[in-house]
Chains A and B, each alone.
Chain A
Amino acid sequence: MTGAVSVRRRSPGRGEQGSALVLALLFLTVCGVTIGALLTFANASSNETTALRLTRGSDFDAQAAIQVAIATVRTGSSCTTSVYTPSAASLNNTTAPVRVDCYQLSSSTGSSAKRNDVFLVCPTSVNPPCDTNPSVPLLQANLIFYDTPIVGSSIGIQTWSSR
């Protein structure tokens, strides 16, 4: 009779202790996973923002570089590869310096003198001349410079495409 009581009392005791341990481990696991997920989310968010800022910086750099290159060629400077390379100080994203290459599609002289040039903004890591394949240049523009009555008196933008 006593033995039976003793056995009946001990069994639930062991079972409860086991579930407490399991519950404790479960609780700690859930807490750990939750904190891990939160920190992972915050880290990913920060990384993406940094990447986006750099990409946007490169976009601004490409726009600025092509504007300077256009202004330079407009005044009569030769349309060549590496027509303009911005200095590091003027870049938003110094980790990805860019270069502007220019090549001429056609030109004519006389009373309706004009030049049709293509400008390509490429990372300096890409060897000149920059490939016209749309996946390579950051920015590509096709322009016509109207050279009458004076050189570069007006500009016609044919295409302007960003990668």
Chain B
Amino acid sequence: MAGKRSSGWWRARSCDERGSTLVELLVASAIMGTAVVAILVGSSATFTSSGANRQSTTSGIVARDYAEALDLAVAQGAWCSTSYTVSYTPPTGYTPTATFGACPATGPQYQTVTITVTQPNGSSEVFKTVVRQP
């Protein structure tokens, strides 16, 4: 009697355990898969965003350096040109360019300048500034 009860109990328990283990495994796999995918997507977004932010920050520095070099070029060259010879070597992958506004015929002599820095990822940062007659 005791042996039968014991045997029956074991059989039932065993079946339950096998069944729930399979379901548990599937659920656990799904949860773990979702969590791992979420972490990977989060990591990827973080790295992408961090890289883009770094390039954006570097572009700002390049623009500032270029503006300083431009000031020097204006001081050394002929006033009111549409292109000054700027002596500046940007970091690899960054390309600064400048477009100049018209020179006033009379009155205060200054020129508006738009500096555009193209980043390695293709996007660009734009800064507006002014150079004046030395």
Is the pair A49, B127 in contact by a Cβ cutoff of 8 Å? no
Given contacts A42-B46, A63-B130, contact A75 B56 (CB under 8 A): no
Is the pair A56, B127 in contact by a Cβ cutoff of 8 Å? yes
Q: How large is the interface on B (under 10, 10 to 19, 20 to 34, 35 or more residues)?
A: 35 or more
Is the pair A46, B108 in contact by a Cβ cutoff of 8 Å? no
* A161 at interface, CB cutoff 8 A: no
Is the pair A68, B130 in contact by a Cβ cutoff of 8 Å? yes
* B102 at interface, CB cutoff 8 A: no
Is the pair A92, B127 in contact by a Cβ cutoff of 8 Å? yes
Complex contacts, B2 vs chain A, CB 8 Å = 1-2
Is the pair B128, A71 in contact by a Cβ cutoff of 8 Å? no
Q: How large is the interface on A (under 10, 10 to 19, 20 to 34, 35 or more residues)?
A: 35 or more
12 examples of A-B residue contacts, CB within 8 angstroms: A1-B2, A2-B6, A6-B9, A24-B31, A31-B39, A34-B39, A39-B45, A46-B49, A49-B57, A56-B60, A60-B63, A60-B128
Q: Given A71-B110, A92-B127, 15 more contacts at CB 8 Å?
A: A2-B2, A31-B35, A31-B39, A35-B42, A39-B46, A42-B49, A56-B60, A60-B63, A60-B127, A60-B128, A64-B130, A67-B130, A68-B110, A71-B109, A90-B112
